Amino acid sequence: MNHDKGEGAGTEGNTTHGHKPFKRSRSHFPDRVTADGRDGWPVEAGRYRLVVSRACPWASRALVSRRLLGLEGALSLAVADPVQDDRSWRFTLDEGGRDPVLGIRFLSEAYDARERDYPGGVSVPAIVDVPSGRLVTNDYQQLTLDLATEWSALHREGAPDLYPEPLREEIDEVMEGIYRDVNNGVYRAGFASGQEEYEAAYTDVFRRLDLVSERLAGRRYLVGDTITEADIRLFTTLVRFDAVYHGHFKCNRSKLSEDPVLWAYARDLYQTPGFGDTVDFDHIKQHYHRVHTGINPTGIVPLGPDLSGWLTPHHREQLGGRPFGDGTPPGPVPGDEEIPARGRP
C-alpha cells in the first residue's frame, strides 16, 4: 500500500480525481531475501526490519505469515501510523516520532537510501536492511512466499508449511483469481472514475466471492486440509470487507456477514492464533476513511460495524482439516505487538 492517498501496494494513478482506470503496478524493488543470498540479501536473524501498516491488506499478509511461522524474534517489526501525510508512511506511533531501530521519521527515508527520487510511491510492506538503513524489497507478492520457504531455517518449531510444494500449482491458481477479482477487485471498484469501470469491478468481486463460497462450502480451507498462503491472502480482504469495502468502496451487493459460508470461514481464521491477533480494526477504519479524501471528503470515520460477531462460534471444525498440519499454533503475541482494545471486537 503506497502513501499516495493510501492506494494498495504497488499502485499508480490518482485516487482522488484522475480519469484513468485504477492500475496496480509491479513492485519497483523486487529484490529477495533468500537462504543463499543470491540477490545480496541473505536470510539472517536480526538483520532486517519489516515495516507495515496494520491498515493495509497487503502488509497484513506479512503480519500473519510472520506470526504463524514464529519469525517475531528473527524479523523485527515497525508499525506505521495508519494515517499518512504527503511525506509517506510515518512513525508517529513511536516515541519522538521516529522508528526506534531505524531512527527514521518516514519510510521514504529508507527508500531514498536505496534510490533517491525513484518514480513511484512509498509502499508497505517493506523490508529494510537495518545496518545500512536501505530498503531491500517492497515486493508484496513475493515477500510472504519467501518468509514461508527461504526463511525456513529460522522458523519456530512446529511452524506450518504455508506453501507446500505438492500443492503450489493449485495454490497459485486459486490465489491468482482471488488477487485479480477480490484483493485487487475491491480497489478497482473503490477507485473507479466511471460507472462502467465500477460496475465491471463490482461484478468481478461478487462473482469470485460466490465461487469461493461454493468452494469452501464443503472444505475448511482453500487448498488441501491445512492453512496455506491462499487462505492468508483471502482473509486479509475478507476481514476488511464489512468495515470498509462494503460502504467505502461501494462493494455493497451484500456484506460478508450475509454469506453464511464466507462469514464462518473468516471467523474461523480470525479466531485462529496468528490471524485475528494481527488485525487492528481501528487502524483499518482510520486509514481508509481519513486518507481517501476523494471518496470520503469529510474524513468522518464510521462508528460501526459491530465487531462482536467475529468472536462467535463458527462450527467450521466440523469440516475436519488441520489448521497447522503436523505443526502447532504460534505462541502468545509479543507484548509490544498486542492490538489495543479499541482495535479489537
Binding residues: 89
187 catalytically annotated: yes
First to last CA, the chain: 25
Annotated binding residues for glutathione, as ranges? 89
Which residues are within 8 A (CB) of 130 and not within 5 positions of it... i.e. 6 or more apart? 46, 47, 48, 49, 76, 101, 102
48, 56, 202, 265: the catalytic one is: 56
28, 53, 142, 334 from 274: Cα distances, Å: 29, 16, 20, 12
118 catalytically annotated: no
β strands within the chain, DSSP E: 11-12, 23-24, 48-52, 76-79, 126-129, 134-137
DSSP state of 291: H
The backbone torsions φ and ψ at residue 324, rounded to the nearest 5 degrees and listed phi first, read: -110, 20
Cis amide prior to 305 (ω within 30 degrees)? yes
Rounded to whole angstroms, the Cα distance separating 89 from 194 reads: 29
- Cell numbers given for 35: 537462504
Which residues are within 8 A (CB) of 185 and not within 5 positions of it... i.e. 6 or more apart? 201, 204, 205, 208
CA 315 to chain centre: 26
Residue 251's nearest CA partner among 329, 300, 185, 167 is: 185
Rounded to whole angstroms, the Cα distance separating 263 from 296 reads: 27
163, 187, 221, 288: the catalytic one is: 187
Tell me the catalytic residues.
56, 187
